[in-house]
Structure 1
């Protein structure tokens, strides 16, 4: 038989193992993709095609949104005409959700295009369409406008393409920034650039017949990404609770097995005294709680019988030790 370890040693071993098995928590983290500076963590830049795009420093552009309202005080914009072919914005990210923000002007003057239309293709599949028709009764510019979002993605690399492919009107597109949610380890820095998430969203209209698989970008205020990083209170807390529960269950099972395997101490057995008639010489015999029959010699030593006597047992019971 394999010798059992002392109880104290087994307890120490189980506690040591619980500290050695340290789970890696998956934290959810919001990151930004700026129009000019790119990804806030990886530094990967946005790709603009063709050479029709200009930033906030454009001297000959007719529309000049205030940089104070733009994220990181930058934006990249272009005016599209059907005769020049499609213009596009391409970005890559690894995460489970993404949000796209535009700057939307209204009335910027006569003969100045402020209509905004764009379609969104995620991983090669058309997944959204956005349209904003300007309010010609105001010159106010709308900032931090959520124009597209997608959640519930697999935590893998994704490619998002924003384009005017199929648009048959002149439109103005001003890209400000994107926010995406990704997974990070517990030891990783979770500092990100702070984005001013809007409390409301612009008007959006479906464009009939714009592709068989066109899905409207139903961006709402409830679909905004969280301003703060989702820390150990979310995924990490759940994982930690599960691991802690497993350790406790293993500890209880270990205690149970130890108690089962330890040799039992001899316990005093309750014995029933019964009067049994013997053929020749009446005497006292005894039965223990398991029904085994024995007698006592002159020194009061217990002598077990090979089998219970086949005689009648009369009433006269008492407990002795």
Structure 2
């Protein structure tokens, strides 16, 4: 009797997928992935040149508005009270990614207190204004945390610069908490293998045993 054995046949299908990851840029701690920090600035200084324009939690022991640190991302926040005399104020951050989400903390002190609580700002991506946000205080003295003020999920996957900018003729109180951005780690290649499963067929006349294999797994 003559036996013929066919070696297992391996078929590979190549699958290419993108791996997407989210990372946080904290107002004070910076980018958790790269370590890059947020740059805060203003076009001019207050009449008291020694006073900070942007203040974070550690600078604000005597601020008229006191937030609950436990409700802010990483217990940190950075805020600015904008007046037209400042010209403009900006928080600048850089990242590489295809999507971004900007979160603010919103104040609701009554106007009668004299504390600026309305929030008005623009978002400028790579030099172009791409969005804006405004909130009028409801007078409840309550803060709103994790407020999504701007999002864009259709960016090209490359380096971008985002500015949170306050300008114009109206006072504004902006409290920046954090940003989440999405980036592509890389093109991940996977293989799916197809094998031939063994079975036997005997042909009496030719005395032939034919073996093949077939199975499927990933």
- Equivalent residue, structure 1, for 2:115: 112
Which whole-Å deviations, capped at 9, do the CAs of 1:17-69 have from their partners, x for residues lacking one? x4xx9867421111111000111111111110035111112223211111011
- Equivalent residue, structure 2, for 1:37: 29
Counterpart CA distance in 2 for 1:141 and 1:59 is 17
- Equivalent residue, structure 2, for 1:270: none
Describe the SS at the equivalent of 2:113: coil
TM-score normalised by L of structure 2: 0.75
Could you tell me whether the CA contact under 8 Å between 1:91 and 1:159 is conserved in 2?
yes
Structure 1 stretches of at least 4 aligned residues deviating more than 3 Å after TM superposition: 21-25
**Which structure has greater strand proportion?**
2
Describe the SS at the equivalent of 2:74: helix
TM-aligned CA deviation for residue 160 of structure 1: 0.5
How many correspondences in the alignment? 182
Counterpart CA distance in 1 for 2:93 and 2:116 is 25
Matched ranges for 1:1-321 at <5 A: 7-8=6-7, 11=9, 14=10, 18=12, 25-50=17-42, 51-57=52-58, 58-107=60-109, 110-136=113-139, 138-165=140-167, 167-185=168-186, 240=190, 244=192
- Structure number with greater Rg is 1
Instruction: Return the structure number with greater relative CO, CA threshold 8 A, min gap 6.
Output: 2
Which whole-Å deviations, capped at 9, do the CAs of 1:150-204 have from their partners, x for residues lacking one? 1111111111111013x21111110000111111248xxxxxxxxxxxxxxxxxx
TM-score normalised by L of structure 1: 0.52
**Which runs of no fewer than 5 residues in structure 2 stay unpaired?**
43-51, 197-205, 207-218
Describe the SS at the equivalent of 1:184: strand
- RMSD between superposed Cα atoms in Å: 2.5
- Equivalent residue, structure 2, for 1:310: none
**Which runs of no fewer than 5 residues in structure 1 stay unpaired?**
1-5, 187-235, 253-264, 266-321
Could you tell me whether the CA contact under 8 Å between 1:24 and 1:185 is conserved in 2?
no
